[in-house]
Amino acid sequence: MYALEIGLFIAGAALLVIGYRKTNRNMLVAAAVLMLLVGTASDFISGYGDGVSGRHRAPQDASAAPNP
């Protein structure tokens, strides 16, 4: 999971530099999207994995009755 974050960060930084030097707005937007994904990728992947496996991290309610 950390390799994905590092890869997205490096790709985003490269697109940012190239887009700035070539004054290419599309590359700058792509860099911004990749930088956004760097911060959210690990939470998304772990949540998706929990959902697929059937694990659900619901908040515990103190007033809820225990399951019999």
pTM: 0.62
Alpha helices in the chain, H assignment, sequence order:
2-22, 25-53
- Burial class of residue 15, CB neighbours in 10 A (0-12, 13-18, 19+): buried
Biggest CA–CA distance in the chain, Å, is 65
- pLDDT at residue 7, rounded to an integer: 86
pLDDT > 70 in the chain, percent: 79
63 has pLDDT over 80: no
